[in-house]
Structure 1
């Protein structure tokens, strides 16, 4: 009898996971051309490299805001542009996060914060550091996610946080946390997307997470980590072989991008990226040099992970 009950329980568990998987697959139909158009526009010479606090940095933030308005995604706390100051011994510079908000249908006081930084390195002489992978790719993914979530809301409130000043010690993420201390306890998860397009040789999407055991049971952690893509390899951690493996091993990936600020405040986080490659922080990081098929597949699996976690992170363990 006990064995029979166990078999029934196991069947129900796996059947429910199968249903959840079917729901996830039906939730997201990514239009590759939209994603790629966003990357191409944000990494064009016309954006002048999107340098923090430059005279042309507003071009990228204006573009993002216009897309949020087009999708009818409401501004966060009544405004899209959230300015902050960066003060040092010599100069004071102003940056600006762009933030959209999509209400959830079940948890009015709980949030998932999706982050992608839109700043890059700017120009040097006549050269433009376009930053197609770093991080026009992440911004593009967040925009298409926002459109999908607006059309079919998640259980949790979703904050779309496009940060400025990530390249200058994660300034935008720091500002967001500082200005929103009142909701920190309600932030159930930060998903940070930074560099998911790679180069022509990129084959793996890497991810790391922290504090998952605080909000999701071990069986569901196992289910999450087993969710794969048919088109690309998805791997936990950034250890890899090859020319750039030493740099990857030396990098503190927990603090390598905006998710590090959420981690410091004990907020569960999930970070996706491809690691370093030959075009990283160079003038070769252009739209022409990204792996277009890869970034489409990466965006699809990330969104599937997002929907799965939205369905499960607030379930009592």
Structure 2
């Protein structure tokens, strides 16, 4: 997640073959369809996707690296296993890591699930799959930030394939969120559908770290969304909290532009952002799968599913109302 000013991140284009000794030798190939059993229970599959995406073999999933490509290949393979054919949208990323560095290629993965009633009106759901890569010989696996949101969005897509929504869903897995929200900005700058047809943006970023509190931002700048969210009963053991989106929230406590929902908000698209508060493992090499609370993680994704379902039934082809 892009919440605070960043120190320069060392993105090693050739680091992938070198990372194995940074923590542990990978026990199996990470980016294949076969790693998730077809008969896995949904909750097990959610955790398995998280484990794969936050594995050392992904080398921290930095934009423009082999690890980022492996993560992207895994996402694409999972979508294809659902019978979907995702689109890949590329864009240039100037990392500014070195004075003579070449621009890297960012790649968004998106798929559209047609709605049953309002096929030309869309709820866009986002999660960034990139993270910080390898720094000073350590892999930044980003289990919470944001393998959790990526695995969660894959889980939601599986549910929508089985039970189609009234509005069309765009599931957008963004690249290059870290350091500038560039994948989301690229989507908003070159949308595949008219921007006015986007009724709501729902962003998942850091939704799995051990906590009882899941924060939702967006209801202050878009006040008509608050009753929609309040009508939803959070799944156990999640306590849903509103905030981090008012003028009184200063600096890092204001999340309105902190992640991929920001470019949508700036373009006039109402948004809801779901995430946990910053924690000691945020943007550190300790952000590993062991820090994820499976019960909370499953409850967070189920809570988001319920909110999207409520929005799908309430919006009826129209945006929720003007923002502040």
TM-score (norm 2): 0.78
Equivalence for 2:43: 32
Equivalence for 2:240: 234
1:42–1:60 Cα contact (<8 Å) kept: yes
Equivalence for 1:224: 229
1:120–1:131 Cα contact (<8 Å) kept: yes
Equivalence for 1:83: 90
The total of aligned residue pairs comes to 270
2:244–2:256 Cα contact (<8 Å) kept: no
2:199–2:317 Cα contact (<8 Å) kept: no
* Distance across 1 between alignment mates of 2:113 and 2:294: 28
Structure 2 CA distance for partners of 1:58 and 1:71, relative to 1, 3 Å? same
For the pair 1:183 / 2:194, whether they are aligned, the reply is yes
* Distance across 2 between alignment mates of 1:289 and 1:117: 19
For the pair 1:205 / 2:214, whether they are aligned, the reply is yes
* Distance across 2 between alignment mates of 1:164 and 1:250: 22
Q: What SS is found at the alignment partner of 1:308?
A: helix
1:73–1:146 Cα contact (<8 Å) kept: no
1:112–1:158 Cα contact (<8 Å) kept: yes
Deviations 1:96-123 (A, max 9, x none): 0011111000112101100000000001
2:212–2:237 Cα contact (<8 Å) kept: no
Deviations 1:182-214 (A, max 9, x none): 510100000000000113xx1100001155456
1:58 pairs with one of 64, 69, 83: 69
* Distance across 2 between alignment mates of 1:308 and 1:226: 8
Equivalence for 1:194: 205
Runs of at least 5 residues in structure 2 that lack an aligned partner in the other structure:
1-40
Output the aligned Cα RMSD: 2.1
Q: How does 1:1-317 map to 2 (within 5 A)?
A: 31-75=42-86, 80-87=87-94, 90=100, 91-180=102-191, 182-199=193-210, 202-210=211-219, 212-213=222-223, 221-222=226-227, 224-229=229-234, 230-238=236-244, 250-314=252-316
1:103–1:158 Cα contact (<8 Å) kept: yes
Q: What SS is found at the alignment partner of 1:82?
A: strand
1:206–1:275 Cα contact (<8 Å) kept: yes
* Distance across 2 between alignment mates of 1:147 and 1:74: 13
Runs of at least 5 residues in structure 1 that lack an aligned partner in the other structure:
1-29, 240-246
Structure 2 CA distance for partners of 1:181 and 1:46, relative to 1, 3 Å? closer
Q: C-alpha displacement at 1:315, in angstroms?
A: 6.1
Structure 2 CA distance for partners of 1:66 and 1:265, relative to 1, 3 Å? same
* Distance across 1 between alignment mates of 2:130 and 2:310: 29
* Distance across 2 between alignment mates of 1:180 and 1:67: 24
Structure 2 CA distance for partners of 1:307 and 1:194, relative to 1, 3 Å? same
Q: C-alpha displacement at 1:168, in angstroms?
A: 2.1
